Structure 1
Amino acid sequence: MHKVVHIRPVDDVISHEEAADCLCGPAGEGVYAAATTQAVGLIYRHHALQPCREWEASADA
């Protein structure tokens, strides 16, 4: 089962959708099991449109 985590700025000028097609164009990064090259998840790092001090992470169920 693949897990997806979104890291989003909380205090940005826009509200960031918990989706790969958010307006900020988040970059996806694969997470791999240490013993194999099998992908076990994906982390989307959302881009802040202004300097932000608060960030949150949330995982898809």
Structure 2
Amino acid sequence: MHKIVHVRPVDDAVGHEESVDCLCGPTGQGVHVAAADRSVGMIYHHHALRPCHEWEASAEA
């Protein structure tokens, strides 16, 4: 099962959509199971446009 999680700033100057095409250009990082040598998901870390103090993570359904 392939899961996708987005880590987004909550108190940024703009809203961040839960998409790889968000205006902030989120960076994707693969999550791998070394024992099975396979990918199980992706984490997209969104870039804040100003320093933020609050972040949230949510998984796509």
Unaligned runs of 5+ in 2: none
Identity across matched positions, percent: 67
State how 1:13-32 maps to structure 2 within 5 Å. 13-32=13-32
Unaligned runs of 5+ in 1: none
**Post-superposition offset of 1:34:** 3.0
| TM-score, normalised relative to structure 1 | 0.96
Task: Provide the alpha-carbon RMSD of the alignment.
Answer: 0.7
Q: Does 1:58 align with 2:32?
A: no
State how 1:37-48 maps to structure 2 within 5 Å. 37-48=37-48
Large movers: runs of 4+ above 4 Å:
none
| TM-score, normalised relative to structure 2 | 0.96
